[in-house]
Chains A and B, each alone.
Chain A
Amino acid sequence: MPADDPPRDPMPTDDLFARAVFAVEADLFAEARRQLSVCNACRYCAGYCPVWPELELRTDLTDGDLGYLANLCHDCQDCYTACMYTAPHEFALNPPQVFAGLRADTYRRYAWPRRLPAWLTGWRGTVAVLMAAAALLIAVSAAATGRLLSATGHHPGGPYEIVPYALLLVLAGAPAVWCVAVLAVGAVRYWRDIHGPVADLARPRTWAAALVQAARLRHMRGGEAGCDYPGDAPSPARRRFHQILVYGFGLCLASTVSAAVEQDLLGIGPPYAYRSVPVAAGTLGGAAMIVGGAGLLALKARSDPARGTEGMRAADYALTVALLTLAATGLLTLAVRDTAAFGPVLVAHLAAIMVAFAVAPYTKFAHWLYRLLAIYKHNLNPPGRAPAR
């Protein structure tokens, strides 16, 4: 290199910046402010997603602002591949990573009660709780029916032969109610921090816009081009697999709801025919969840860990595997409902659902709620386009 390197300017450097550049363990929020101050002085990413126009409106970033921007981010990573300041450049920008860290903070910060007991967390805890839930189901059902995981034969494939309806309602309903309550509290706490008045949540038109954008994963498209994930080239793969997974999950919920309608309103009890709404929706939904989840796992395996955090990567794997487990046990329940395996498989599936509901607010599962609120906030007053001249 013929260019000779003059010494760096001896000017003192802003404390925050110097500390954050050179200290890997720098405080998450300080590091986010350091990186985003560079982004705010650049603004080349404005066309990718709403995060950047929203950032332009904020020069002094509060913790609430950071929580808002991080959850508005859909992790398409286009900003990363477009950035001339990623490492080894000394600015070492990595917005996908810093936003992943901040989102993990959101999930921890706003859930209330703050966290699950330690014995409930981690793989061992999860398996132990699953076993306990299954044991509880078996024990209570056996006490109620006098039979151990076997049907009478009067209603082959009927679930209430194994677990009586009232019991099922209580045992699965309680964790479901808990799940909704914890998420609702988290939502309100988050909204107060990123925005303020809860009354501003009552705008139907804004909800309509936000829900459409969320349902279409509008902001995961990197300005129409697709997601630079798992590689460096735009690809629709992640968004599509995510959609398949989400709509599959939705079909499974629809299956449950339609079963409730058939039973409680129409008086048609299970087991339902293979061509009935509950079975068709559940089968299609379960299959979609498996396709979408497996696709996401395959992409994740090929993705660059440096564009996220270890914690978020683990959380992504855990959520995807959990959803795959739910889908697989659900499909298996249907497949074996006329065999002797029906009882054990049904109990395994129900236990999985109970545990999933119980821990969901403390896992990556909660991400949709915070992201939906961020999208809603964005739609309250979206930064506009240039007026035509």
Chain B
Amino acid sequence: MKRRFSRTTSRFHRRAPLQPGAAPDTAWDQPWDVAVLGGGNAALVSALTAADHGARVLLLERAPAVFRGGNSRHTRNVRCAHDAADGYVTGPYPGAELRRDLDGVGSGPSDEALADLTIAESRSVPEWMSEHGVRWQPALRGTLGLARTNRFFLGGGKALVNSYYRTAQRAGIAVRYEASVQGLEWSAADGGTCAAVLVDTPAGTRRVTAKTVIAASGGFEANIGWLSRYWGDAARNYHVRGPRYNDGTVLDLLLRAGAERAGEERGFHAVAVDARSPKFDGGIATRLDSIPFGIVVNAEGRRFYDEGEDIWPKRYAIWGGNIARQPGQIAYALWDSQVQGLFLPPMYGAYRDDTLAGLSRQLGLDPRAVTATVDGFNAAVDQGPGGDFTMAEQDGRRTEGIDPPKSNWAQRLDTPPFYGVPMRPGITFTYLGVAVTAGARVRTADGGTFGNVFAAGEIMSGNILSSGYLAGFGMTIGTVWGRIAGREAALYARG
């Protein structure tokens, strides 16, 4: 009855624009070629590619428009193989070198064929991105030593996401915000086919039918409950660097429906962030760069890891895990006035005192324990080989006769005033995802594939890297696999 009424009145709706929101949203009723679940880089690339291939596309972003874009909001660059320098990269980056870099992180590529496919496809990514509205930042100084290998988005990830949403609008892609996928309906056809997507919206639950579904909804890094399954109460002390919307609902739905897993289940990438920062969505600004300049102690005032292991920022990813394993999941970076000002200033400032004991009290640490730790550290510096202190390279200034050692940049911590900042693990992303074919089709645990379900981005990045981190490569995976998923889904949907 209701449906018939709306059908008879629909012509009037088209002719005379009503008040905003008065017309029924027809996006929920019509059958789509492609439904994209997610609203970040991989989702947008999937949607744009599917539209380029003639598909009618609906994109479902669970965040409100102002927070759209998932983790991509906080990204900054993309790592692609290229043959020569241009205005945006300072030198060649051969595919073989990218492959070597990939081999060098975590346990290396989880599927060599898919990794090589990703690298080969990455060559055409920058041009594709430019064609779809992305703009680039000229290679500037201070780009973390990545100026040769990585292209930086002008204005960063949110600017990139904004550009893609504008392009999507021009391409006629329907975008719905605050559209949170809560269920997938399955039919037995073709090895398991997704028949409909159930979506929570501010106006109630909607049932969307689409010939194909692309899951591009990221991991579960913002789902403290899920993280607690592996890490217990410690997970409650983690900070989540991306939006609070990344709770892995779609990943969970796919795994429950029988998708094959890819990527380290318990794995996550985490860096040291300021303990005073927000629980969610602190992004890039809350990270701390001071660690190699001084020492790090835990809540008991003891050192626990080699602060001078490798050059920053290569080792910056290891400290999230280091801190996560300490009591109370908290640690304190300490330094003195000799190095103050040599690194990115913490956005919340630093605690400061003329004595170590005073600084310890400000930080809530036992002054005697901290003083004993620093005395022991200073003695170990004195026994080391000494030499020039320089952050330009591993300077070989190491401690001697202390465990853990500080292998580089070891310098007495003795010149007041002293500085300190409390740190927490800040989770960037999780590794667990769904396995895919070279056509981005989601594989099932029984050895087959789903008929019409594809995946792109973080939700399938475990196919390429099961652990570890290579700066800018997440965006490469999202773009490469968004293009594959969007193309394959469009071809499938259009027969």
* Interface residues in chain A, defined as those with a beta carbon under 8 Å from any beta carbon in chain B: 1-6, 8-9, 11-14, 16-17, 37-38, 40-48, 53, 56, 59, 78-79, 81-85, 88-91, 223-225, 232-233, 383-389
Contacts and interface: CB of A to CB of B under 8 A. Distances in A.
The CB with the most chain B CB atoms within 10 A, among A3, A81, A389, is that of A3
Contacts of B135: 223-225
Nearest to A79: B155
B302 interface: no
26 contacts: A3-B225, A6-B237, A9-B276, A11-B275, A14-B349, A37-B348, A37-B349, A38-B285, A40-B347, A41-B344, A41-B346, A44-B155, A44-B156, A44-B159, A46-B137, A48-B154, A78-B159, A81-B159, A81-B162, A82-B162, A223-B138, A223-B154, A385-B138, A385-B139, A386-B90, A388-B90
Given A11-B275, A90-B278, A386 B285 contact: no
Interface in B457-471: none
Contact of B140 (A37, A89, A91, A386): A386
Contact of A14 (B143, B247, B348): B348
A78 B249 CA distance: 34
A16 B346 CA distance: 13
B56 interface: no
B247 A2 contact: yes
Contact of B283 (A13, A16, A17, A85): A85
Interface in B174-205: none
A1 B247 contact: yes
Contacts of A9: 237, 275-276, 279, 424
A44 B284 CA distance: 9
Sort A-B residue pairs by CB-CB distance and give the 5 closest, nearest first. A47-B137, A44-B156, A82-B155, A82-B159, A386-B147
A387 B284 CA distance: 25
Given A4-B224, A47-B154, A59 B73 contact: no
Contacts of B232: none
A350 B342 CA distance: 58
| Chain A interface SS verdict (over half) | loop
B141 A223 contact: no
A42 B157 CA distance: 12
Contacts of A45: 155-156
Interface of B: 66-67, 73-74, 76, 85, 90-91, 135-143, 147-148, 152, 154-159, 162, 166, 222-226, 236-237, 244-245, 247, 249, 275-276, 278-279, 281, 283-287, 341, 344-349, 422, 424
A137 to B, nearest CB: 52
Contacts of B286: 41
B193 to A, nearest CB: 26
A386 B158 contact: no
Contacts of A385: 138-141
B140 A388 contact: no
Given A42-B283, A42-B285, A225-B135, A48 B249 contact: no
A17 B349 contact: yes
B155 A48 contact: yes
B158 A37 contact: no
A132 B237 CA distance: 70
A40 B345 contact: yes
Contact of A47 (B152, B224, B237, B349): B152
Contacts of A81: 155, 158-159, 162
A47 B155 contact: yes
Given A81-B155, A88-B66, 4 more contacts: A1-B245, A3-B224, A44-B159, A223-B137
Nearest to A52: B140
B419 to A, nearest CB: 13
Given A3-B222, A388-B85, A389-B91, A8 B348 contact: no
Given A6-B224, A11-B275, A41-B344, A85 B138 contact: no
Contacts of B142: 43, 46, 56
B348 A13 contact: yes
Contacts of A389: 85, 90-91, 147-148
B472 to A, nearest CB: 14
B137 A91 contact: no
A147 to B, nearest CB: 62
A88 B249 CA distance: 24
Nearest to B145: A386
Contacts of B347: 17, 37-38, 40-41
A356 B422 CA distance: 56
Contacts of A225: 135, 154
A2 B91 contact: no
B341 A59 contact: yes
B155 A84 contact: no
B162 A232 contact: yes
A270 to B, nearest CB: 52
A5 B279 contact: yes
A341 B347 CA distance: 64
A85 B166 contact: no
Nearest to A388: B90
Contact of A78 (B66, B90, B155, B245): B155
B345 A37 contact: yes
Contacts of A5: 224, 279
A8 B282 CA distance: 13
B238 to A, nearest CB: 9
Contacts of A48: 154-155
Contacts of B226: 2
Nearest to B252: A2
Contacts of A78: 155, 159
B275 A4 contact: no
Contacts of B285: 38, 41-42, 85, 91
B74 A41 contact: no
Contacts of A85: 283, 285
